[in-house]
Amino acid sequence: MNVATLLSALATMAWVVALIVVGLAIARAARGQTFRWAGAIVIGIIVLALVLTTISAGLVFIQPTDRGVVITVGEGGVREDALQPGLNWVIPFIENVITYPISRQTYTMSIAPEEGAIRGDDSVEARTSDGQIVRVDASVIFSIDASQTVETHIKWDGAYVDNLIRPVSRGLIRDAVSQFEIEEVYSTERFALSELIRIAMEKSLEEGGLILHEFVLRNIAFSDEYAASVEQKQIAEQLAQQAAFVVEQREQEAEQARQVSQGLADAGVIEAEGRALARVIEAEAEKEALDLIAAALQGNPDLLTFEYIQKLGPGIQVMLVPSDNPYLLPLPEIGGLTP
């Protein structure tokens, strides 16, 4: 409790005591009894109450988050300088003090009934450059410039929210939205939209003695018709993406099958080349063998007969050949007999 409040409470108590004493004096006089020193006590208490009331009326305690504007009978109607935090003195019963908060304040305009400064739908209806209607939810976080508290009072007389914050912010939001198309508002240019509003609002509030700390673009809602069209567009895009995915999957499967076929073909070619190479090597080996045999026969013609005999089974004693064919080979005598 500050000193001014304490003195005001003591003054109130003094007036109550004075009334009680007056009441007791009247009651005793009605019963024919005297109340000695009643008049002096009443006068003393009244004087004390007047003094306390006067002092408490002249003392004003300003909170650290406030500034005080003194309304006076002097020239201009207000003091030039605002009262600073702490205990201040004003002329009792002649000067009056209006306190203004210099801490941050938030003014919200929302479509939700319980969220905005005004109950019900208080969102800002705006039209985009391509003719679509949107509803914007926004919050303005601001404070009074402590160095311009007196000027702010003179300009707005305390109605800076209704006469500055609300109309200026709603107008700037509509102007900014009108510079963007509907798809830009809710996607690629949303930050640019918010920044455009913030810059314009910062300048307007500064001229009005206020400081803009932040502008929050809370939400952007569309008309039911446009919301339905956006939903249909999203569904179509999803279906197109799904179809593209299926096509890509089929292409990958076809490429995989082609690579498998190519691999099989390459394997067949390699196998065929291997067989051909083996056949060539085999043919060359046979040729070399035949060349060796031919060379051996040239040096020893009877070698062929000897090989033929070697191939005959050991138990063969007689060989029959057709009567009209000559002998292929001269047969040796067997057991002293000639063929």
CA 225 to chain centre: 26
- The conformation of residue 147, written as its DSSP 8-state character, comes to G
Is residue 275's pLDDT more than 60?
Answer: yes
| Token pair for 69 | 């504007």
**Count of domains forming the chain:** 4
Helices 224-299 + 303-311 axis angle, to 10:
110
Would strands 86-89 and 124-127 be described as parallel, antiparallel, or unpaired?
unpaired
Residues 109 and 95 in one domain: no
Name the strand (E) or helix (H) holding 115.
Answer: none
Is residue 338's pLDDT more than 50?
Answer: no
pTM of the model as a whole: 0.61
Please tell me the predicted confidence (pLDDT) of residue 314.
61
- For the chain, give the mean pLDDT: 82
* Distance from C-alpha of 322 to C-alpha of 326, rounded to nearest angstrom: 8
**What pLDDT digit, counting tens, does each position of 14-40 carry?**
788 878 877 777 777 777 666 666 677
Last residue of a domain, one of 153, 188, 222: 222
- Pick left, alpha or beta for residue 247 (phi over 0 → left; psi -120 to 50 → alpha; otherwise beta): alpha
Adjacent-strand bridge partners of 221? 135
| Token pair for 154 | 């003179």
Using pLDDT thresholds of 50, 70 and 90, give the confidence band for residue 335. Answer: very low
Adjacent-strand bridge partners of 88? 60
Q: What are the residues whose beta carbons fall under 8 Å from the beta carbon of 55, sequence distance 6 or more?
A: 7, 11, 92
Last residue of a domain, one of 68, 99, 130: 99
- Residue count of the chain, please give it: 339
Instruction: Report CA-CA distances (Å) from 133 to 5, 6, 126, 182, 222.
Output: 54, 57, 6, 8, 6
* Distance from C-alpha of 247 to C-alpha of 257, rounded to nearest angstrom: 15
Using pLDDT thresholds of 50, 70 and 90, give the confidence band for residue 336. Answer: very low
Please tell me the predicted confidence (pLDDT) of residue 218.
92
* Distance from C-alpha of 163 to C-alpha of 152, rounded to nearest angstrom: 12
Residues 111 and 217 in one domain: yes
Is residue 329's pLDDT more than 60?
Answer: no
Residue of 66, 139, 152 lying closest to 103 (CA atoms): 66
φ/ψ of residue 67, rounded to 5: -135, 150
Is residue 219's pLDDT more than 80?
Answer: yes
Please tell me the predicted confidence (pLDDT) of residue 42.
73
Cβ atoms within 10 A of the Cβ of 329, count?
10
**What pLDDT digit, counting tens, does each position of 89-127 carry?**
998 888 999 999 999 999 999 998 888 888 888 999 999
Is residue 153's pLDDT more than 70?
Answer: yes
| Token pair for 324 | 């009209």
Residues 166 and 201 in one domain: yes
Instruction: Report CA-CA distances (Å) from 279 to 265, 268, 290.
Output: 21, 16, 16
Residues 321 and 235 in one domain: no
Residue 301's SS3 state is coil
Residues 196 and 109 in one domain: yes
Please tell me the predicted confidence (pLDDT) of residue 116.
87
Residues 184 and 128 in one domain: yes
Is residue 189's pLDDT more than 70?
Answer: yes
* Distance from C-alpha of 61 to C-alpha of 8, rounded to nearest angstrom: 12
Question: Do 77 and 70 form a contact (C-beta atoms < 8 A)?
Answer: no
* Distance from C-alpha of 41 to C-alpha of 55, rounded to nearest angstrom: 21
Residues 205 and 236 in one domain: no
* Distance from C-alpha of 279 to C-alpha of 290, rounded to nearest angstrom: 16
Please tell me the predicted confidence (pLDDT) of residue 15.
81
- Structural domain including 73 reads 3-99
Using pLDDT thresholds of 50, 70 and 90, give the confidence band for residue 224. Answer: confident
Per-range mean pLDDT, top range of 157-166, 238-247, 289-298 = 157-166
Residues 172 and 248 in one domain: no
Residues 84 and 68 in one domain: yes
Residues 24 and 84 in one domain: yes
Residues 89 and 128 in one domain: no
Residues 92 and 141 in one domain: no
Sign of the four-CA dihedral 207, 211, 214, 217: negative
* Distance from C-alpha of 96 to C-alpha of 69, rounded to nearest angstrom: 8
| Token pair for 189 | 């240019």
**What pLDDT digit, counting tens, does each position of 54-94 carry?**
888 888 899 999 999 999 987 778 999 999 999 899 988 88
